[in-house]
C-alpha cells in the first residue's frame, strides 16, 4: 500500500528530507495513550530543520509555520477527539543552535541567531507559536489568520496546555 503520493511532494518534507506526516503524529499519540493506559504524555522535542541562510529568509519561515500548524493541530485533535492525555508540547527549539548531524547548515529555532554577532531575531514561527499559546488552541487543523501578525480568532480554552517558550512572551 504505502503512503499517499502527497507525502512525497517536496512541500511535505523539511530541508533534511524527513517526511512531514501530522496524521502519523496523531496516530502515535493515540497508540501510546491506548497501549499504556491513558498516561500523562509530554512531547518534549518536536520541530523541523529549515535552510535559512539569512535573517530575511528566517523572518518568513512559512515551512516551519506549516509544520507547526499541522503537528500542533494533530495533537489538539488527538486530545479533543480521542481523549489523549497530552499534558505538554515543547517546540524544538527556542533558538537556532549547533546540531550534531547538521552542524550550522540547518536551523530549528523559533528565533534566528546570527552566529557572528549572537543577535537573536524572532522568526515568523515565533509569532505564530505565541498566538497558539495565547489562545490555548491550535484552532483545529486550520488556523485562521496571518501567522506573521494578524490576530487569530480566539476560542475558549481547551484541554491543550502548551509548554516551552510561553514564559518568554
* Residues spanned by the domain of 144: 13-168
Task: Answer whether residue 119 is part of any domain.
Answer: yes
Cell of residue 135, nine digits: 489562545
Read off the pTM: 0.74
Nearest to 159 by CA among 89, 90, 69, 93: 89
Task: Answer whether residue 1 is part of any domain.
Answer: no
Nearest to 78 by CA among 25, 124, 128: 25
Task: Answer whether residue 7 is part of any domain.
Answer: no
Q: Is there a cis peptide before residue 93, judged by omega within 30 degrees of 0?
A: yes
Domains contained in the chain, number:
1
Question: What tens digit of pLDDT does each residue of 101-142 get?
Answer: 778 888 999 999 999 999 999 999 999 999 998 888 876 543
Task: Answer whether residue 139 is part of any domain.
Answer: yes
Band (pLDDT 50/70/90 cuts) for residue 12 is low
Proportion of the chain above pLDDT 70, given as a percent: 72
CATH of the domain at 61: 3.20.20.80
Amino acid at each position: 500500500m504505502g503512503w499517499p503520493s502527497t507525502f512525497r511532494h517536496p512541500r511535505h518534507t523539511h530541508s533534511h528530507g524527513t517526511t512531514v506526516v501530522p496524521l502519523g503524529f496523531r496516530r502515535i499519540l493515540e497508540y501510546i495513550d491506548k497501549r499504556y493506559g491513558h498516561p500523562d504524555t509530554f512531547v518534549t522535542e518536536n520541530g523541523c530543520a529549515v535552510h535559512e541562510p539569512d535573517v530575511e529568509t528566517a523572518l518568513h519561515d512559512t515551512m516551519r509555520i506549516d509544520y507547526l500548524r499541522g503537528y500542533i493541530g494533530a495533537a489538539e485533535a488527538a486530545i479533543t477527539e480521542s481523549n489523549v492525555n497530552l499534558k505538554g508540547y515543547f517546540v524544538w527549539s527556542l533558538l537556532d543552535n549547533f546540531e550534531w548531524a547538521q552542524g550550522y547548515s540547518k536551523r530549528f529555532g523559533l528565533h534566528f541567531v546570527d552566529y557572528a554577532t549572537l543577535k537573536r531575531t524572532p522568526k515568523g514561527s515565533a509569532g505564530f507559536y505565541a498566538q497558539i499559546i495565547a489562545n490555548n488552541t491550535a484552532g483545529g487543523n486550520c488556523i485562521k489568520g496571518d501567522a506573521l501578525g494578524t490576530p487569530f480568532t480566539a476560542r475558549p480554552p481547551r484541554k491543550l496546555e502548551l509548554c516551552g517558550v510561553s514564559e518568554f512572551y
